[in-house]
Amino acid sequence: MHWNRINFLTEKFFRNACSEAEKQELALWIKENPDDQLSLILENAWDNFDTEIKMPEHSSDRILNTIFPEKEATIAYEYSQEADISSRQLWAKIAVAAALIMAIGIYWWSGIREKNKMAMKNIPSTLVADLPPGGNKAILTLGDGSNIILDSAGNGNLASQGNTNITKSGTGQLIYKSNNTAAEAVVFNTVTTPKGGQYHIVLPDGSKVWLNAASSLRFPTAFIGKERRVEITGEVYFEVAHNTKMPFIVKTGETEVAVLGTHFNVMAYADEKVMKTTLMEGSVKISRSGKSAMLAPGQQARLTSSSENIRVLDHVDTDKEMAWKTGYFQFEDDNLESIMRQVSRWYDVDIAYEGNASREHFTGRLPRNANVSKVLKILSLSGVKFRIEGKSIIVTP
C-alpha cells in the first residue's frame, strides 16, 4: 500500500471519519507491515494530530497492562483504575499506537510489546526498590497537649473535651459531637497529617473536613459566639454546614476565607509558590492585607507571597484540584518539580536532583493507591531517570 494512502487513512482514523472498509484496510496494513514502518507512520500521525487523544478507560488500562505486565492477582486492580499519564514523547506514541490498534479491533501486540520492552530497558534497575502509598494517618492533639495517634487508635470513644465527645468511626472518621450540656471554656484541638497521611474529620457543627498529606487543622471543640473559626496549613477540603448566623472562617497565614455554608478546597503548602482556594459550591470571600475577592463556583483565587493582589481565575478544572481527595494524582501541563513535590508528600520521601531538573511537562492521571515505583516507571517513559535510595528519590534528567 502506498505510503501517502496510509498517512491519509491514519489521519482520517483520528478524526473518527474512517468507513468500515477503510478501517479494515488500515487493520490489514497494521497486521502485515514491518515494525519500523508502523513506528514511523504512528509518529507522523501523532505529530500532525494536535488534539489530546481521549481513550476509553478500558483502553488506557489495557495499555498499562501491556507496558507493565503484572501477575494475575493484580490485573483486576489495573482494570479498575484509570492511569493515562502522557507526554509528547514515547508514552504518548505508545498510547497512540495502542488506541489505533485496539479501536479497530486488531490485537497483534508483538511489535508494540517489543517496543515497550526496549523502552523499559532505559528505566534504572534501582526501581526494584519500592515504597507504598500513603493512607489514613494523623495525630490528634488535645487541649492539654496530649497526643492520640489516630491510625493506631481503636474505634469508638477516644476522649471528651469540654462538652464534646470525640469518637473514631469504623470507616476512620474522627467525629466531634456535643453532649448537649452547657458550653464551657473553649478548648482547641489540632489534627495533623504527616507526609504519607490523610484524614477525614466531622466538626462539632457537622461540617466535614478532609486533610491531605502534611497538613493540619486547628479548631475549637465547640463553636460558640458569632463565628466558626479554624486555622489550617497544607491542603484541606471543606464541606461547611450552613449557618447564616455564624460564618465559617478558615485562616491560613495572613489569608482568611469566609463562608456561610459551601464546598471549597484550600491549598497553602509552604513549599508551593501559589496559594489556591477553589470553590465547588456556594460562595466564599477571600481576604488578605485589606483586599478581598468573592468567588463563584468554578472560580479559583490565587495568592503569592510576593504580591498582595488576589488573582481570580474562571472555569478552573475542579476535577484536577479535587483529584487528591478522590484518590488520584492529576496533572495538566505540570512540570516535573511540582509533580515530585506531590510525590514527596504522599510517599513520605525526600527528592534530590542530580543536575538540572527536566523541563518536560506532563498531563494525565494516576491512582494514588499505587506504589511509588509504578508512578516513577510511567514518568520515566519521558526520558527522566529515577533511583530509590532508602527514603529518597534521586532524579536524573
pLDDT computed for residue 181 by the predictor: 64
Question: Which amino acid type is present at position 268?
Answer: A
pLDDT of res. 80 = 34
What is the reported pLDDT for 299? 96
Q: Name the DSSP class of 273.
A: S
Give the residue with greater pLDDT, 367 vs 185.
367
The yes/no answer on whether domain 135-321 falls in CATH 2.40.160.20 is no
In 10 A of CB 40, how many CB atoms?
15
Asked if 224 contacts 173 with a C-beta cutoff of 8 angstroms, the reply is no
- Pick the residue with more confidence: 163 or 159? 159
Residue 378 has pLDDT above 60, yes or no: yes
Greater model confidence, 11 or 199: 199
CB count, 10 Å around CB of 390? 9
Q: In the predicted model, is pLDDT for residue 22 greater than 60?
A: yes
Q: How far is CA 46 from the centre of its chain?
A: 27
pTM score, two decimals? Answer: 0.71
Percent of the chain having pLDDT more than 70?
71
Cα four-point dihedral sign 92, 115, 335, 266: positive
The average pLDDT across 274-295 equals: 95
Question: What cell does 67 get?
Answer: 507496558
Q: Would you state the pLDDT for residue 367?
A: 87
pLDDT for the residue numbered 73: 28
pLDDT band at residue 377 under the 50/70/90 scheme: confident
To which residue does cell 507493565 refer? 68
Q: What percent of the chain has pLDDT over 90?
A: 50
Three-state DSSP state, 110 = helix
Residue 102: per-residue pLDDT: 43
Q: Which CATH number fits domain 327-396: 3.40.120.10, 2.60.120.200, 3.10.180.10, 3.55.50.30?
A: 3.55.50.30
Residues recorded for the chain: 397
Amino acid at 225: G
In this predicted model, what pLDDT tens digit does every residue of 316-355 receive, in sequence order? Answer: 999 999 999 999 998 888 889 999 999 999 999 999 999 8
Domain regions of the chain by residue span: 3-121, 135-321, 327-396
